[in-house]
Amino acid sequence: MSTEILLHGRTFRVYTIEQLPALKLQMLNWANPFNICCFMDNHGYQESLHSYECLLAAGSWKKFSEKAGTALPALRLFLKENSDWTFGHLGFGMKAETIKSSTQLPDPIGFADCSFFVPDTLVLVRENNLLISSYSMEAELVYRQLMDSPRQLDTQGPSATLEAVMSAEDYIRRVEALKAHIHRGDCYEINFCQEFRAKNAIIDPIAVFNKLVSISPNPYSVFYRWENRYLMCASPERFFKMEGGKIWSQPIKGTAPRYADPERDARSAEELVASEKERSENVMVVDLVRNDLSMICKPGTVEVDELFGIYSFPQVHQMISTISGQLQEGIDLVDVLQAIFPMGSMTGAPKKRVLELIEEYELVQRGIFSGAVGYCTPDGRADFNVVIRSLMYNQEDRYLSCQVGSGITWYADAAREYEECLLKVAAIRKALEPIR
């Protein structure tokens, strides 16, 4: 037997579930035919701010895509006209609207700067409940189709090999040039990224995503399709969450490798929290986030809930801090995005100057990378990730891209920063290896 509930303005039918891992694969297989869809997976991480184990938004009941310039006013109007659950993304190019920082770099993937949609069908999983809402089908039909979908994904198909666009020598030269800017006082810290790519790549995006998250099952993972462009994301980082008039942001700054030997692994985590370079990098972004939130929060309410928290994921240890605040009356999602995008962990400080240096020293537009994917509800709730540890795929052009970066400070060793980039891309390369 199933029951109906009203959740954040939308009616859902509720079913009891048992085999969650199999259900997630069925949800992905069921979503495959839709040309717009978003699957968000928490991978069982237990954390007080999480609301759902996974969400699937499939099919666009209403949608819009805009270039940076007037995208945020268009988003506000779209949300006002469609009082509903809404999913979508902001690409890094939105900095042209929020910080007045434009770009002339090439964009090989081609996601729009800002795209959002009201899903035709919405499937939520929390605890042992499956919640289904659909405008075009009966919930019971969606449920039966989900249960009849395959419980495995195609593991065959062509593989691809990611090649670095920037040589190690060129990367080191650019990092040293950025350190010279820091020495001159142009900035304090900068997130510098490089691209790894494969041309003429033919992949099965859902199969690659499934393999990627099986290697790195991180709590803000997203499979996102907008027509012929795909994002396969295994992000460990939350950009922000809004709920009940409060906002939280959880920037990551600080990375250390995991090891099979428990003693060496524990020592790696201890070295991370003791690192002067990593701590200084982390506190800089915390100060930046505190400043961003102060523009939209009530005076005196912005707090650092956790500083230098060490969280262990399958591939790496991460240093994560949590900052929160009480939102001012009348602040909506668009106000929040205008104040805090792009996220400090993917820029540096001060934002305006750092974005100019990113434009000068990086080779391609970041696109959806360094942006955010998430959802909002008509009662003021929202949850967005930071798009990192990801593959971006332009299916039409057969162009596959992965970007990785690290925070550059005066203490940075360029060769070690390059090694950190290789560490971050290693799991992504494994996801593209052929099945043996």
Distance CA(369)–CA(362), nearest Å, equals 13
Backbone angles phi, psi at 22, to 5 degrees: -65, -40
Helix/strand/coil for 79? helix
Element (H, E) at 242: strand 238-243
Handedness of CA 166, 254, 210, 87 (dihedral sign): negative
Distance CA(398)–CA(198), nearest Å, equals 8
Distance CA(302)–CA(299), nearest Å, equals 7
Handedness of CA 172, 177, 182, 186 (dihedral sign): negative
Closest CA to 70 of 60, 82, 59, 78: 78
Query: Are the beta carbons of 68 and 337 closer than 8 angstroms?
Result: no
Q: What is the CA radius of gyration of the chain?
A: 21
Distance CA(384)–CA(370), nearest Å, equals 12
Q: Which two tokens stand for residue 297?
A: 């929060």
Q: Which two tokens stand for residue 210?
A: 């499934």
Which amino acids are annotated catalytic?
237, 253
Return the bridge partners of 44, or none.
none
Handedness of CA 32, 109, 111, 217 (dihedral sign): positive
Q: How many residues does the chain have?
A: 436
Handedness of CA 389, 124, 89, 64 (dihedral sign): positive
